[in-house]
Amino acid sequence: MEKESNKRSFSAKRKEGSFQGKRTTKGSDKPRRRFHSDDEQDNERPARKFGDKKPARKFAGQRGGGTGRPRKAQFDDDKPKRRRDVTAESEILTEIVNKRKMEGRQAPRKQKILSLEYEEQYGPIRLNKYIANAGICSRREADTLIETGAIKVNGEIVTELGTKVMPTDEVRYGDRILQREKPVYILLNKPKDYITTTRDEFDRKDVMQLIKGACKERVYPVGRLDRNTTGLLLFTNDGEMAKKLTHPSHNIYKIYKVELDKNLKTSDFEEICNGVELDDGVIKPDELAYVGDSKREIGITIHSGKNRIVRRIFEHFGYEVVKLDRTVYAGLTKKDLPRGEWRFLTEEDINILKRSLGKKSL
């Protein structure tokens, strides 16, 4: 009788799921692969959960090789590559820029930047910041002053927080007129073809371009000169002084050198000295004189601040003003100040202005 074998059948082992192969590959101690039943959990490798990303497939042409769809060609060698004509574009842009420079215009992007700079320098400012910049107190304390009615703007009490004021507005705290920045005074010898304005919607040349970068404070012209009129023009952020310099009651005198298209007749000369009746009233110059040998060049001293007053006086008698130059303004002269240049006023210059307003020197 044959001996009964202790070995179990292969099929039984497969059903129980407990088969463990003991054969190894030649030259290796690695056991054969183990088969698991459906009920047995694999503790060595956790099951993939919902939401886990599958490992990326490797397509043909990628690093690591593998099979799959071929890599898409990025360029078609049969078709010629189209390149931008950079040279042509550069020539067009250069032509546009040069044309704008000849016309004295800024590029559109620069216009936008200048517009923002204008709003920052010459636009409105919050009242509490204005008071703080004047050195009175902090912004929070300034809000308290505003709420209590201690601040006046152009003669009216302002109690609303968030109120904005312009550089030309008069802000008072008690009897004191506040300056939102330290006072700055600039004297310009204005050339021809520049208009007296802080901003021009037609993109013409203005006097602010001539003093650009002179100071960080916001200054503006005192009075105005026509586009074709040259000579002295004062800029400042001192609102109180600017107001008094332009008010006719202070009799601020200006001296102009006039060149006419023809000689000034003696009869017209005497009539101008006696006073000229224009549409807006009688104008009498403080002084009138011939300059040089020619009677076409006239010197006139006047304190009126009416618009185009010197030109209108001579046009009333049928003369055309060819050149008009303001040589003296409130005691300040053009000495050592070439055309188109500017300079800061010295303490002596400021004292001259204050004396012309009837103020004491510093």
Inter-residue contact 298 to 258 (CB < 8 Å): yes
Active site includes 175?
no
Q: Supply the DSSP symbol for 115.
A: H
Cα 245 to Cα 252: distance, rounded to the nearest angstrom:
6
Q: What are phi and psi of 44, to 5 degrees?
A: -80, -35
Task: Please tell me which residue in 169, 203, 206, 226 is annotated as part of the active site.
Answer: 226
Q: What's the token pair of residue 98?
A: 């040069």
Q: What's the token pair of residue 79?
A: 């078709």
Cα 119 to Cα 123: distance, rounded to the nearest angstrom:
4
Which residues, at least 6 apart from 242, have a Cβ–Cβ distance to it below 8 Å?
168, 220, 222, 236
Q: Give the strand pairing for 281-283 and 176-177.
A: unpaired
Which residues, at least 6 apart from 58, have a Cβ–Cβ distance to it below 8 Å?
64, 65, 66, 68
C-alpha angle 159-241-300 in degrees, rounded to nearest 5: 145
Q: What are phi and psi of 109, to 5 degrees?
A: -65, -40
Beta-bridge mates of residue 277: 282
Catalytic residues: 226
